[in-house]
Amino acid sequence: MSYKLEETIRLNQLFDTYQELLTGKQREYFQYYFSDNYSLSEIGDILSVSRNAVHVQIKNIVKNLENFESKLRLMQKSKLTYELIESLDRDSMSDRTINIIKQIEKVK
Protein backbone atom coordinates (compact mmCIF):
# COMPACT_ATOMS: atom_id res chain seq x y z
CA MET A 1 0.00 0.00 0.00
CA SER A 2 1.47 3.30 -1.05
CA TYR A 3 0.10 6.81 -1.11
CA LYS A 4 1.27 9.70 -3.26
CA LEU A 5 2.53 12.82 -1.52
CA GLU A 6 -0.65 14.78 -2.31
CA GLU A 7 -2.81 11.99 -0.90
CA THR A 8 -0.70 11.79 2.24
CA ILE A 9 -0.96 15.53 2.80
CA ARG A 10 -4.73 15.42 2.37
CA LEU A 11 -5.05 12.44 4.72
CA ASN A 12 -2.98 14.22 7.35
CA GLN A 13 -5.25 17.26 7.01
CA LEU A 14 -8.29 15.03 7.39
CA PHE A 15 -6.68 13.38 10.39
CA ASP A 16 -6.00 16.78 11.98
CA THR A 17 -9.65 17.68 11.47
CA TYR A 18 -11.33 14.42 12.48
CA GLN A 19 -8.92 12.53 14.73
CA GLU A 20 -11.17 12.92 17.76
CA LEU A 21 -13.79 10.82 15.93
CA LEU A 22 -11.36 7.90 15.63
CA THR A 23 -10.60 5.41 18.37
CA GLY A 24 -7.28 5.58 20.19
CA LYS A 25 -6.11 2.47 18.36
CA GLN A 26 -7.03 3.97 14.98
CA ARG A 27 -5.11 7.14 15.82
CA GLU A 28 -2.13 4.99 16.80
CA TYR A 29 -2.18 3.07 13.51
CA PHE A 30 -2.54 6.28 11.51
CA GLN A 31 0.34 8.00 13.27
CA TYR A 32 2.67 5.03 12.91
CA TYR A 33 1.94 4.75 9.20
CA PHE A 34 1.51 8.35 8.03
CA SER A 35 3.45 10.40 10.59
CA ASP A 36 6.25 8.06 11.63
CA ASN A 37 6.49 6.43 8.18
CA TYR A 38 6.65 2.89 9.54
CA SER A 39 5.99 0.01 7.16
CA LEU A 40 3.01 -2.28 7.61
CA SER A 41 5.35 -5.02 8.87
CA GLU A 42 6.99 -2.71 11.40
CA ILE A 43 3.62 -1.61 12.73
CA GLY A 44 2.52 -5.23 12.91
CA ASP A 45 5.61 -6.08 14.95
CA ILE A 46 5.04 -3.15 17.32
CA LEU A 47 1.36 -3.96 17.84
CA SER A 48 1.72 -7.76 17.70
CA VAL A 49 -0.63 -8.17 14.76
CA SER A 50 -0.19 -9.40 11.21
CA ARG A 51 0.90 -7.18 8.36
CA ASN A 52 -2.47 -7.84 6.73
CA ALA A 53 -4.33 -6.71 9.87
CA VAL A 54 -2.42 -3.41 9.73
CA HIS A 55 -3.24 -3.08 6.02
CA VAL A 56 -6.96 -3.57 6.71
CA GLN A 57 -6.89 -1.09 9.59
CA ILE A 58 -5.17 1.60 7.52
CA LYS A 59 -7.66 1.13 4.67
CA ASN A 60 -10.59 1.39 7.12
CA ILE A 61 -9.16 4.48 8.79
CA VAL A 62 -8.69 6.21 5.44
CA LYS A 63 -12.24 5.25 4.46
CA ASN A 64 -13.57 6.63 7.77
CA LEU A 65 -11.72 9.93 7.34
CA GLU A 66 -13.03 10.32 3.80
CA ASN A 67 -16.58 9.51 4.99
CA PHE A 68 -16.35 12.10 7.77
CA GLU A 69 -15.32 14.76 5.27
CA SER A 70 -17.99 13.78 2.73
CA LYS A 71 -20.69 14.11 5.40
CA LEU A 72 -19.43 17.00 7.53
CA ARG A 73 -17.25 18.89 5.02
CA LEU A 74 -15.37 20.70 7.79
CA MET A 75 -12.11 20.81 5.86
CA GLN A 76 -13.86 22.13 2.76
CA LYS A 77 -15.70 24.79 4.79
CA SER A 78 -12.49 25.81 6.53
CA LYS A 79 -10.71 26.22 3.21
CA LEU A 80 -13.55 28.33 1.81
CA THR A 81 -13.63 30.51 4.92
CA TYR A 82 -9.88 31.05 4.68
CA GLU A 83 -10.16 31.97 0.98
CA LEU A 84 -12.96 34.46 1.71
CA ILE A 85 -10.99 36.09 4.51
CA GLU A 86 -7.94 36.34 2.28
CA SER A 87 -9.99 37.99 -0.46
CA LEU A 88 -11.12 40.87 1.75
CA ASP A 89 -9.55 44.23 1.09
CA ARG A 90 -8.22 45.09 4.54
CA ASP A 91 -7.15 48.58 3.50
CA SER A 92 -10.75 49.70 3.21
CA MET A 93 -11.94 48.24 6.53
CA SER A 94 -12.29 49.71 9.96
CA ASP A 95 -10.00 48.65 12.78
CA ARG A 96 -12.92 46.84 14.40
CA THR A 97 -13.56 44.78 11.26
CA ILE A 98 -9.89 43.89 10.94
CA ASN A 99 -9.83 42.83 14.61
CA ILE A 100 -12.87 40.57 14.06
CA ILE A 101 -11.17 38.97 11.03
CA LYS A 102 -8.06 38.29 13.12
CA GLN A 103 -10.23 36.62 15.76
CA ILE A 104 -11.89 34.46 13.09
CA GLU A 105 -8.47 33.42 11.78
CA LYS A 106 -7.45 32.31 15.27
CA VAL A 107 -10.50 30.01 15.51
CA LYS A 108 -9.21 27.90 12.65
pLDDT by 10-residue block (mean), the chain, 108 residues = 93 97 98 97 98 98 98 92 81 83 80
- Within this chain, do residues 28 and 68 fall inside the same structural domain, yes or no? yes
Q: How many domains does the chain have?
A: 2
Angle at Cα 54 formed by Cα 53 and Cα 60, nearest 5°?
90
- Within this chain, do residues 64 and 90 fall inside the same structural domain, yes or no? no
Q: How many angstroms separate the CA atoms of 4 and 12, rounded?
A: 12
CB 72 within 8 A of CB 83: no
pTM above 0.75, yes or no: yes
pLDDT tens column, 43-61? 999 999 999 999 999 999 9
- Within this chain, do residues 30 and 53 fall inside the same structural domain, yes or no? yes
- Within this chain, do residues 58 and 95 fall inside the same structural domain, yes or no? no
Domain of residue 85 covers: 73-108
State the CATH number of the domain containing residue 37: 1.10.10.10
- Within this chain, do residues 51 and 67 fall inside the same structural domain, yes or no? yes
